[in-house]
Amino acid sequence: MLELIIISTLNGILFGMLLFLMASGLTLIFSMLGVLNFAHASFYMLGAFFGFQISRWLGFWPALFIAPLLAGALGAAVERFGLRRVHRNGHVAELLFTFGLAFVIEEIVQIIWGKSPVDFRIPSSLDFPAFQIFSTNYPAYKMFMLLASITIFVGLLLVLTKSRVGLIVQAALTHPHMVGHLGHNVERIFMLVFGVGTALAAIAGVIAGPALVTQSNMAALLGPILFVVVVVGGLGSLPGAFVASLLIGLIQTFAVSINGSLAEAFGPLSPAYAHTWLADIWDVTVAQIAPIIPYLLLVLILVFRPMGLLGTRET
């Protein structure tokens, strides 16, 4: 039991950090450009596939650096040639543009790499058990994932708070027009932020690719959870995104290991009708509803605290 809790906590934090890598990019993009990038999870997927392809040619460690750069460059290009054009058609058009982009990226990935999972392996230098928790081995690669995510998070924090560019970006997060008035090239900052945001998602993809299945439906599986994280944390709030990522990562990981259901909780005290028309809800275990718990959380937050946990802006 204790073993299960410790492993689930570790896995939950790990998953949460991965989510945060992606959610941080999404929050930055949303705060600066006001557009919720539907294609963000697609850049995560592109990162994984670029990482896979480059690791086949050059090895895993070069892939770790090159793949996010490629994906980020692609993201910047998308912003420069696509979003900027669509911007004049309104917010709805921008949102729909990213929506269509997500679709097209998934199709292109399927065309190039096929629809089956690809064999993205853990690099042999990391393919050993790190330590033993009671009787289960905890792989070293997962510790690497955790370390890498934390390093990037700390790096992001430092850049945002200590560097000049970071301060401008922080200012543009809350007062974009003022930043423009002060003479900074807001358009270039937009492109930079979009590129960095998508590069962050891509790094998450390269790191997660060997551990999870690298397949063309990765984006569709992780996309909705990502939006839940960003909205629950508060649109436009990086600390909020961090808290929400960890929360949802832990909830999802713990939920699948809990077999309790209302039937088990009530046991022989269950009313007779519970097993007939109410049977679906009564007998369902927490593990079975694990995939929808984030959406429940989303709806609850939007009802009771629409700004999100730590949100600062309405929209």
By the rule CB under 8 A, 123 interacts with another protein: no
Among positions 200-219, residues that touch another protein (CB under 8 A) are 211-213, 215, 217
Among positions 219-248, residues that touch another protein (CB under 8 A) are 221, 224, 227-228, 231, 235
By the rule CB under 8 A, 77 interacts with another protein: no
By the rule CB under 8 A, 144 interacts with another protein: no
216 near 109, Cβ under 8 Å? yes
Residue 97 or 242 with smaller CB distance to another protein: 97
Selected range binding another protein among 20-28, 40-48, 97-105, 238-246, rule: CB under 8 A:
97-105
> Which string of x and - marks every residue 34-73 that binds another protein (by CB under 8 A)?
--x-------------------------------------
190: Cβ contacts below 8 Å, ≥ 6 apart: 32, 33, 79, 84
By the rule CB under 8 A, 269 interacts with another protein: no
Helix, strand, or coil here: 58?
coil
Among positions 154-183, residues that touch another protein (CB under 8 A) are none
Sign of CA dihedral 241, 245, 247, 248: positive
Angle at 197 between CA 85 and CA 251, to 5 degrees: 125
Among the listed residues 77, 150, 158, 284, the single contact to another protein using CB under 8 A: 284
Tokens of 117: 């999972």
Among the listed residues 96, 160, 286, 309, the single contact to another protein using CB under 8 A: 96
Helix, strand, or coil here: 30?
helix
- Least CB distance from residue 249 to another protein, whole Å? 11
CA 210/CA 49 separation, integer angstroms: 10
CA 33/CA 16 separation, integer angstroms: 25
41 near 222, Cβ under 8 Å? yes
- Least CB distance from residue 159 to another protein, whole Å? 27
Helix, strand, or coil here: 224?
helix
CA 29/CA 49 separation, integer angstroms: 22
Among the listed residues 66, 69, 93, 286, the single contact to another protein using CB under 8 A: 93
Residue 111 or 178 with smaller CB distance to another protein: 111
By the rule CB under 8 A, 137 interacts with another protein: yes
